[in-house]
A = this chain, B = another copy of it.
Amino acid sequence: MTKTFSSTDDIRSGGELRHARQAVFAGPIQLQLGGVLPAVTCVYETWGELNADASNAVLVCHAISGDSHAARHGDDDDPGWWDGLIGPGKDLDTRRFFVVCPNILGGCRGSTGPSDIDPASDPPRPFGADFPRITIGDMVEVQRRLAEHLGIARWRAVVGGSLGGHQALTWAAQHPRMLETCVAIASSPRLTAQALGFDVIARNAIQTDPNFAGGQYYNQPARPDTGLAIARMLGHITYLSRKSMKEKFDADRHDPRSIASVFEQQFSVGSYLAHQGQKFTERFDANSYVTLSMAMDLFDLGEHRLMLMETFDESQCDFLIVSFSSDWLFTPSQSCDIVNALVALDKPVTYSEITSEAGHDAFLIDEDIAKYGPLVAAQLNRPGLRQRNPEATSTAEVTRAERAILDLIPRGASVLDLGCGDGKLLEILHHRGHSRVMGVDVAQRHLLEAASRGLDVIDYDLNQGLPAFIDNQFDIVVLKFTLQAVSNVASLFDEMLRVGRQAIVSFANFAHRSLREDYVTRGRSPRAPGEYDYEWHDTPNRRFPSILDVQEFCRERDVTICRAVYLDQQRDCQIEPDDEPNLNADTAVFLLARDN
């Protein structure tokens, strides 16, 4: 049933899919939108070895114009489209994992698609436009059969970018017990109306090409290459950011590369698009493009959070969601929609928006793979990292204020740490047996550090509120030494006490004796060791609260200070409540709750 597959299709450096194998699944196979396929062929490639209990298999899902050749199989092999991520010793390490990448249903690289002969036709002819309408769910169903065929009951992870991310998310939603980890990169719950509009135009260009001939062009002298090339040109613009196009094409704008083409040759960007469009027609089938693009456009995990929560309600895997700042096709805010739903469901999820100028294509670019690849590695390393180690709960390396915070957290409480930094505090809580701890930060370095400790961590700017979280989701929400940099304090307090039953806020006391003395004697913007040790013109701080200020603020906003710990961190001692903490304490830690 499994044999070496050979193709004469021209792909990238002219290589064939030398390492591909194929599996054939007997039908009839019922499709989600009502169609039926008599049988399905699935062509795939693999890297590494499946281990004895089949627990190390990772499914890699490709995007609309990709194929099974995700990585090279040896030094003499053609490069794969995800060579930067997949290989021996790489972030998706083929020495540890058995990686499987199938060509998707509906494509034109060996797996069943519109260019195959329709067995029901007489005389025999390709499906063409009669190929039944398929969904991402149908693609996933073929992958599920492949897993069965390979003896894999459960994927260690399903990983994909763009349309590949849609497949990974569909796995998590439709086969909740069949994967441990879902990694969706540059993905979305569904297309924006804008992206949908571009796809509609691309399909219109193909289907109105006179050579399209209703999809039965295979035996004709000419194929709908013009329409397919125009579709591809349009796709290319949406994969790049405006800035990356400027860098690519502005220097030699009026100096196009001379190529043989039916298309306009006026500008450098024009000759580039013509080249990309024409090259694409040599390796891609127009009916496949229409089929896959329609499947992507029909993909819809839900418009609103409630619908997305329903979609992922049964999911049992953990999630890594990655977006790119300059991706305007599948925008960061769309990834956030997924993250917000998962967080509200209390699913384990890590999210990072990678800063990149490369647009949607960033997920394929080595420079950006170097940024998000370590997050993939950390996610795959999690099971080992997350084993509880009671010896790792020492507070020897934390500050007195952090110890005070830890002491205020009830045993076993669920904890959200806003501005979690490297995640040290959450890691201690995890090893102490807290079952649900989560961090929020905005620095990519911190996100990676925290993720590398096996923690769930979300890339959010606190000044945008806490939209990801539902009411009373955590027992405790922690804000440690961040108050002085928050732009909207009142709404953040509201959010903390909406999301948490209680909140812990630690802050440096601006009315501490050392600051007052410095201010009065020097007549300068006050400075003292710690959070306020900055020049007036170069400080990240924008709020200067004293203990009395925060007390009054809580009183005015119906917030109870359940417990208060006052510290002189300089002298490494605690200040008693009757010892004028507003003068003598440089630090305060408050446990807060909403008045009933």
Contacts and interface: CB of A to CB of B under 8 A. Distances in A.
Given A196-B253, A201-B234, A267 B297 contact: yes
Given A266-B294, A524-B549, A544-B525, A204 B192 contact: no
Indicate the size class of the contact surface on chain A.
35 or more
16 contacts: A193-B242, A193-B248, A193-B249, A196-B269, A198-B237, A204-B274, A207-B264, A208-B226, A266-B294, A523-B547, A525-B543, A525-B546, A536-B549, A537-B545, A537-B549, A537-B553
- State the copy count for this chain: 2
A262 interface: yes
Given A197-B236, A197-B245, A242-B331, 6 more contacts: A197-B233, A200-B263, A208-B230, A234-B234, A490-B537, A525-B546
Nearest to A241: B194
A120 interface: no
B303 A250 contact: yes
A193 B553 CA distance: 52
B489 A537 contact: yes
Contacts of A294: 266
A204 B542 CA distance: 54
Contacts of A549: 524-525, 536-537
Interface SS of chain A? helix
Contact of A267 (B196, B263, B303): B196
B208 A267 contact: no
Interface of A: 192-194, 196-198, 200-201, 203-205, 207-208, 210, 226, 230, 233-234, 236-237, 240, 242, 245-246, 248-250, 253, 262-264, 266-267, 269-270, 273-274, 294, 297, 303, 328, 331, 489-490, 510-511, 516, 519-520, 522-525, 536-539, 541-549, 553, 582-583
B545 A542 contact: no
B548 A543 contact: no
A240 B510 CA distance: 49
Contacts of A546: 523-525, 536
Contact of A201 (B203, B233, B525): B233
Contact of A548 (B273, B274, B524): B524
A583 B523 CA distance: 7
A204 B263 contact: yes
A396 B194 CA distance: 55
B542 A522 contact: no
A242 B210 CA distance: 32
A539 B486 CA distance: 11
Contacts of A536: 510, 543-546, 549, 553
Q: Which 4 pairs between the two chains have the least Cβ-Cβ distance?
A: A489-B537, A542-B542, A193-B249, A511-B523
A301 B263 CA distance: 26
Nearest to A540: B542
